[in-house]
Amino acid sequence: MHIVILSRNANLYSTKRLLEEGIHRGHRTEIVDHLKCNIVIEKKNPRIFYKDRYLDDVDAIIPRIGASVTFFGSAVVRQFEMRKVFTAVESQALIRSRDKLRSLQILSRAGIGLPKTVFTNFSKNIDEILSEIGSFPVIIKLIEGTQGLGVVLAENKNAATSVIEAFHGLKARIIVQEYIKEAKGADIRAFVVDGKVVGAMKRQAKEGEFRSNLHRGGTATVIKLSREEKEVAIAAAKAMGLGVAGVDMLQSKRGPLVMEVNSSPGLEGIEKATGVNIAGKIIEYLEKNAYRGKVQKDKVNA
């Protein structure tokens, strides 16, 4: 099987691990910088040109698309889909996952527990926004923020009002969310592959910090999920249409609350915390589905 990993940086832990596992399992595996791909569109012949060749013989792809290049990255993924290439993350699911507001709406419709959230179109009635949340502190997030960037904890009404006014003044779109005190600066990352939780870790924010992201100094330890937490993680990934996902949840008095569903979850923290070969699980997912698709195509062409 020919596997392409769409990644801009071959030195990233996640990219290297996927490459290692693909090769280890006997597949022709390579890294392709999606920003250096040319999309060639003509009648019934969608093609991808990369450096000095067409990528015509690819069986499966693993998109590792950064948030800043979602538009072009998802277009490359879509072009592979048009060629009937199996993808670990579908283009539409990738686009949905990058829109925090749309993601929350999808999860809400699916009946999944969420922190109470308010979004407005630069409303000047900030008192009404904060009264909908009903308590302090509150979390204020940029819609486009990633890895904890653009996330502010406002301890009281005055602080929240100042932050919201500042973001509105910059024409930055935000959501305001309730703060789950009982989580105590910790969250859970459940890694879902092919409808199963293959690993989970608890991330704890460093002292004096409310964001538990490992990039911001948080620590990770292995955790055994409850049945409800597993079910919520699987349901969230399914609702978003993601075969591979990192589901971030808070433990609350009313059960697990999903904060975000990540379509390009990092492998380093989860593999080191759990000791589970997550990269291998992703390659297994490709093997099962790409092989099935190849058999179907061969039947059609027979």
Which domains does the chain carry? 2-95 (3.40.50.20), 117-179 (3.30.1490.20), 182-266 (3.30.470.20)
On whether the pTM is more than 0.75, the answer is yes
pLDDT of residue 121: 80
pLDDT of residue 122: 80
Q: Each residue of 107-123: pLDDT tens digit?
A: 999 999 999 999 988 87
Low-confidence ranges of the chain (pLDDT < 50): 295-296, 298-302
pLDDT of residue 263: 95
pLDDT of residue 210: 57
pLDDT of residue 279: 98
pLDDT of residue 298: 46
Q: How far apart are CA 48 and CA 33, in angstroms?
A: 12
Q: How far apart are CA 75 and CA 286, in angstroms?
A: 20
pLDDT of residue 302: 36
